[in-house]
């Protein structure tokens, strides 16, 4: 005989990706977007194209299919739309026409920005030119910075990037991130710059 107490109806389990979007955005805002791996950076962009659901499988499938973030953005709308992935419930989801067009548009924006920058790149042909460039940037900086200047094969500056800002006497850096960034930019050389705020005229350099 039943004791008359009805069993509680279990609540539907929340999908594993619930809250993932906001957590990823918080990490991007906190640690810095440049520290995100390629698939998470791609996820952030896909959030706009696909406002609902888990986009991580699609982001990873795109990188697997094309091999790199640059190759994903360089792909055609038709090729992008051939990519499919399964979500946590085993349902197949593909890259739709709108998502594909957004990715192609992002590539075109990147191409135009790169073209603009190429037309006004600083050329660092000597240590004198390097000293003039970095002293202008760092001589009044109150905290230690670890900067990397990425150069192309003509010694034109591709990017001057602050890898880390520290305290008045400490600026940690991660070599893996420096190398990964150089590969992304197809840099032929790197100049590593480190300042000393307590001695404004003292700047440490390294070339790779």
Neighbours of 145 (CB within 10 A): 19
d(CA 76, CA 161): 30
The most distant pair of C-alpha atoms in the chain lies apart, rounded to whole Å, by 94
Q: Confirm if 176 and 183 have CB atoms less than 8 A apart.
A: no
The pTM assigned to this predicted structure is 0.51
CA 79, CA 101: separation in Å to the nearest integer?
11
With contact defined as beta carbons under 8 Å apart, do 155 and 124 qualify?
yes
Predicted confidence pLDDT, tens digits, the chain (208 residues)? 444 444 444 445 455 555 777 888 888 888 778 888 899 889 988 888 887 778 899 999 999 999 998 889 888 999 999 999 887 777 788 899 999 999 999 988 888 877 676 566 777 888 888 887 777 766 656 677 778 889 999 888 888 888 766 554 454 567 888 888 899 889 999 988 877 666 545 555 555 5
C-alpha of 164 from chain center? 15
């Amino acid at each position: 005989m039943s004791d008359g107490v009805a069993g509680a109806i279990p609540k539907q389990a929340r999908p594993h990706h619930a809250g993932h979007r906001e957590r990823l955005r918080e990490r991007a805002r906190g640690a810095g977007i440049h520290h995100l791996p390629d698939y998470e950076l791609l996820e952030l962009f896909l959030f706009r194209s696909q406002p609902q659901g888990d986009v991580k499988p699609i982001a990873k499938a795109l990188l697997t299919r094309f091999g790199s973030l640059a190759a994903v953005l360089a792909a055609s709308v038709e090729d992008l739309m051939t990519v499919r992935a399964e979500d946590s419930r085993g349902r197949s989801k593909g890259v739709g026409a709108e998502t594909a067009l957004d990715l192609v548009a992002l590539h075109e924006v990147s191409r135009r920005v790169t073209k603009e920058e190429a037309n006004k790149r600083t050329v660092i042909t000597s240590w004198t030119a390097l000293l003039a460039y970095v002293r202008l940037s760092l001589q009044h900086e109150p905290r230690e910075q670890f900067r990397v200047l990425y150069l192309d094969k003509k010694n034109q500056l591709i990017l001057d990037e602050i890898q880390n800002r520290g305290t008045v006497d400490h600026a940690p850096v991660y070599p893996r991130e420096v190398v990964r960034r150089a590969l992304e930019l197809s840099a032929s050389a790197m100049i590593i710059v480190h300042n000393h705020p307590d001695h404004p005229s003292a700047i440490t350099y390294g070339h790779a």
